[in-house]
Amino acid sequence: MTEDFHRPVMVLETMSHLLQDRPSIHLDCTLGDGGHALEVLRRSPETFVIGFDVDGEALSVAKERLDREFGGRFLALKADYRRLPEVLAGLGVPRVDTVLYDLGVSSRQLDSPERGFSYWGDGPLDMRMDPEKGTTARDILMTYSGEELARILRDYGEERFARRIVREILKVREEREIDTADVLVDIVKRAIPVGARTGGGHPARKTFQALRIEVNNELGLLQRAILDGFYHLRPGGVMAVLSYHSLEDRVVKSTFRSLSESGEARRVTLKPVTPEAEEVETNPRARSAKLRVVKREMRHDTFI
C-alpha cells in the first residue's frame, strides 16, 4: 500500500458547495483514498462524515489516513452506494446534509497493474472494484457472444471500431486466453486502422473503459442511486456529482433536470463546472471531469 494518494479532483469547486458551518452529516458515496472527505473534515469542524466504498483496499487507506486526525468524526463502511437506503437505515441515519458522488475509478486502482484496470503492463484482466465478487474482464472477453461484446464496446466505450476489435477478440480466444492487459492491447492495435493507432490517447482506452463499466455495472442503477442520495438529503441539503465520461454525465444531467422540473430540486449548476486549465496540467486525470450540483427544495411533502 503506497502513501501516494489519489488526488481529489476539483476540490475548491466541490467544497464551495459542500461545506457547512453547523453540526451536520456529510455522506461520501465514493470514499476512495478519502481526499474529498479529508477536505470536508478539515474545513467543516462540526461535520460528521460517513464514507462508502466497495474497494477494501481504498477503505483501509482512507481509514488509516483519516482516523489519525478525525477518528471521532468519521465512519468508513464497505458499502455499495446502490444499497444506500438500507445502509443508512442500518446506521439509524434518516437524513444527511450533503452528499458527494465522485464516480469512476481511482488513481490507486488505475495504477495497480494487479487490479487490471490499466492498459500498461501485463496485469491480469480483472477490473473489479470489489475484488471479492463479480465477473472479471477476462471472463467477459472469453465467454460473451460477439454481439454482446460489440454492444459493450459501442455503448460503454463509444468505440467506432467495435466490430473490428470484436472480430479479433473472437479469433484470438479460439487460440489462447485473453487474460492480461498486454494481450488485449495487442488485439486492439491489430484490429484498428493504422491511422487510428496514434493520436487521440491510447488506442485501447475506450475498450478498457467499456469493459470496466460492464464488469462493475457502473451505469446500471446509477440514476436510482443518485435519486436515493437525493431523497436522503434534508430540505436545503446539497448533492454534488463528479463524472468523468459523457455516459455518466448524461445520467446525472437528466436526473437533475427531472428533479428540477418536478420542483423538488434547484439546479445550483445549470451547466457542468469543469476544472481550471491549471488543475488539468498538474493532474491530467481531471481533464474529463464535470461537476453538477443540486439543492433540495423545501416542500410541504418533503417529510412524507
Enumerate binding residues for ligand SAM (CB under 6 A): 6, 8, 30, 32-36, 52-55, 58, 80-82, 102, 104, 106, 129, 216
C-alpha 243/C-alpha 140 separation (Å) is: 25
Please identify, using beta-carbon distances, which residue of 16 and 262 lies nearer to ligand SAM. Answer: 16
Please identify, using beta-carbon distances, which residue of 112 and 302 lies nearer to ligand SAM. Answer: 112
Closest separation in Å from C-beta 258 to ligand SAM: 22
Look up cell 464514507; give the residue. 51
Closest separation in Å from C-beta 108 to ligand SAM: 7
And the C-alpha cell for 29?
A: 458515496
Please identify, using beta-carbon distances, which residue of 58 and 211 lies nearer to ligand SAM. Answer: 58
Closest separation in Å from C-beta 263 to ligand SAM: 29
Q: Phi and psi (nearest 5°) for 54? A: -95, -10
C-alpha 125/C-alpha 146 separation (Å) is: 18
Does residue 137 contact residue 149 with C-beta atoms inside 8 Å?
no
Closest separation in Å from C-beta 32 to ligand SAM: 2
Please identify, using beta-carbon distances, which residue of 3 and 301 lies nearer to ligand SAM. Answer: 3
Please identify, using beta-carbon distances, which residue of 177 and 276 lies nearer to ligand SAM. Answer: 276
And the C-alpha cell for 23?
A: 453540526
Which helix (DSSP H) or strand (DSSP E) does residue 125 occupy? none
Closest separation in Å from C-beta 22 to ligand SAM: 24
Buried-state track 137-170, b at ≥16 Cβ within 10 A, e below 16: bbebbeebeeeebbbbbbebbebebbebbbbbbe
Please identify, using beta-carbon distances, which residue of 58 and 294 lies nearer to ligand SAM. Answer: 58
Closest separation in Å from C-beta 55 to ligand SAM: 4
Which of 117, 90, 88, 37 minimizes the C-alpha distance to 233?
A: 88
